[in-house]
Amino acid sequence: MTATDVSAPATQARIPGSKSLTNRALLLAAAAGGVSTVWAPLLSDDTRAFRAALTSFGVAVRSSPTSEFWEVTGLGGGPVGQARLWCADAGTAARFLPPFAAAGRGAFLFDGSSQLRARPLRPLVEALRRLGAQVETGPGGGLPLLIIASDLPGGELTVESSLSSQYLSGLLMAAPLMRYGLLARAEALVSSPYVDMTLTLMRRFGAGVEKTADGAIRIEPGGYTPTDLVIEPDASTASYFFAAAAVTGRTITVPGLGTGSLQGDLRFVDVLEKAGAQVTVTESATTVRGGADGLRGGFDVDMGDISDTFMTLAAIAPLADAPITIHGIGHARLKESDRITAVASNLRACGIRVAEGADWITVHPGRPAPARISCHRDHRIAMSFSVLALGSGVPLELDDPGCVAKTFPGFHAELHRLFPDTPDREERQ
């Protein structure tokens, strides 16, 4: 990221805590022996589902009266006993919690919504079986998932990671609970900044973590120690407000997201800078100001490592002065929706010319026409197209505005607060 002078007055966006950090912190605190405090956790459907699943294991999670913090009393290892765990729509729960369960002792049944059942688990299941876990799957190799656990010895493992980095992260977080730890290698890793985030948090909870010269990751046995952690604002969520600044010429600042951020998705502001926005990143905040000449196109960008933000760029790309091509995002077809197809079909519904391939999308400039946006129960589709409506001034009706509750229940209200002329998306059903 580069630092550029931003002289116009800035409006501060109120961005909730990172989902990725919140759920990782909850799991590590649950595995530690003692009490940890997670400050400023995200309150959303996904984090509530993750927290509820942990309580099914017997983990005690106490909330302060205003949920300013969650106090987690860990198990000091893997879970013991029997439990049925409902993951709802939360992919992190379905991918992080089974390795944790396998490192314990007992029988644990995981299930989730029809949307979550459709998401792939094969690489994780195969890895757990190679480590010696007894795993039974539902039709297609996914949820429901039954794990009969008698702890895990650990050892060496190569994890197929072309579909998601979450399989590797889940196994790494369970590794200190294995008898001999783990030496893990990733095959075709996507979204590598999320693995770096995982390792950083593991170190903060006392795990022994080392990256070897050949790119492997060595995790020492020994478990975790409790700690207190403050959750950063969610960088993926911040992308919508940074993009809103870029397409309106306004200036938006997100406090708490700075040069020391653990989240790779903050690199989205580099993409906005390529598109003509002015960006300032300090130790304590990031500010984006829209360029005087509007959004600049005519470039292609690999967003494979920050794929949760590719939709933000694709949705505002019609407002640029030349086409924008985004590539390296094939794994985004396996998220809450097939995100490449969902974005492309919604843009076409708005009259925008789009081309797409297995792992890329090209969006051409054009004024959107009024349309009804199919959200596919995907929070990021709803948020991205809300920014397109704001920047274009064209009414776009979301068929499921409430799906933003997965990560930011107050999204529409915050967008309206910052941009008062924005139609209230929650009333446009």
Amino acid at 116: L
Distance set, CA 402 to CA 170, 396, 406, 416 (Å):
29, 15, 9, 15
Query: Could you tell me the two tokens for 405?
Result: 């509750």
Task: Give the largest CA-CA distance in the chain.
Answer: 62
Active site residue 302: no
Asked if the peptide bond before residue 144 counts as cis, ω within 30 degrees of 0, the response is yes
User: What are the φ/ψ torsions at residue 260 (nearest 5 degrees)?
Assistant: -95, 10
Residue-wise DSSP of 80-125: EEEEEEE-TT-HHHHHHHHHHHHTSEEEEEEE--HHHHTS--HHHH
Q: Half-sphere exposure of residue 32, counting CA atoms within 13 Å on the CB side?
A: 26
**Sheet of 155-160, strand order:** 155-160, 182-187, 217-219, 209-211
d(Cα 394, Cα 372) in Å, to the nearest integer? Answer: 11
Catalytic residue selected from 45, 305, 308, 378: 308
Q: Which residues are part of the catalytic machinery?
A: 308
